Amino acid sequence: MNTHQIDTQNMKKAIYDFPDHLEKALNIGKQFQPKNVFNNIQNIVVTGMGGSAIGGDICHTLLSDELKVPLIVNRNYSLPHWVNEHTLVICSSYSGNTEETLTAYEDAKAKGAQICGISTGGELTEKLRTDQYDFITTPAGLQPRAALAFSVVPMLYLLNSQGLIGDSIFDDISDTIDLLSVLRDDYAEDNDLNPTHSLAMSVYQSLPIIYGTSGSTSVVALRWKGQFSENAEMMAYYNELPEMNHNEIVGWENNTEIIEKMSVLWLKDLDENERIQLRQKITRGIIADKNVNQHIISVSGSSARIRLLHLIHFGDWVSYWCAIHHNTDPTPVKPIMQLKEELSS
């Protein structure tokens, strides 16, 4: 995979390989044989940070029509007070050394929760092994945000192994692999015929405001925001409909000199509620009066699940091309490393 000179650690290949990661993650999941049986699970908590935590958000959205118990994502050192012996806590840390996740692991033990984990190794894996909890080991060597497939798919297998979800999601992931294995060659092209490249060219000198829809594309908006920040080193912001119609829509009135430097990215799906579609249309019109750069983004796929994963992949490419347009290496995250060093000193 050819890369730009500025892309010293080949983030382009990591993004291009997303369909391959999904396939490898499926194979890892198929080999998972749980040692423990979880009993009377009444709620699920995924605890993690950054690229590991968003895997839980994505699973929550993918499984919204299937899961019969609540699932929340915990981004903190401690777990909710209501966590107890009927809670399944999934500890997700790509490195295995995320301090918030390790502390939450101890809190889960103290609360008597049923525990399992996903990691490449590190202290988390050692704790899970010592305490005889189930865990899935994933491949190391990637940036956590580029290892999304290894956060999402193993989590699905953990839930499937306990009868909490069925097998249909894995068919959708297989179909996603087939689709993206074709489209990624277009998205990797450095020209304006590539829609991810042309969108990046339009927005890279602005502040992207990404609007999704609650329960569907909002999780993708969150992912896009994180990718703009980490890959392209750009500030970005996200929100969701219909909530933003009840507050944020009024915020487009003042500070016009700042608003003129923003771009609005509307993430749409074919299955959106008709009232949501109408809200989007009206809101776009209201914002259009401010002469804001707006784009509507929707992608192909035979199911909502496939389109969600496709839209995530599309956004990863947009953030990559923004980095290239900025002459920014898309891999290093120096402020995060500085923060970790100062915290540990």
- CA-CA distance, 11 to 105, in Å (whole number)? 31
Which residues are known catalytic residues? 230, 246, 340
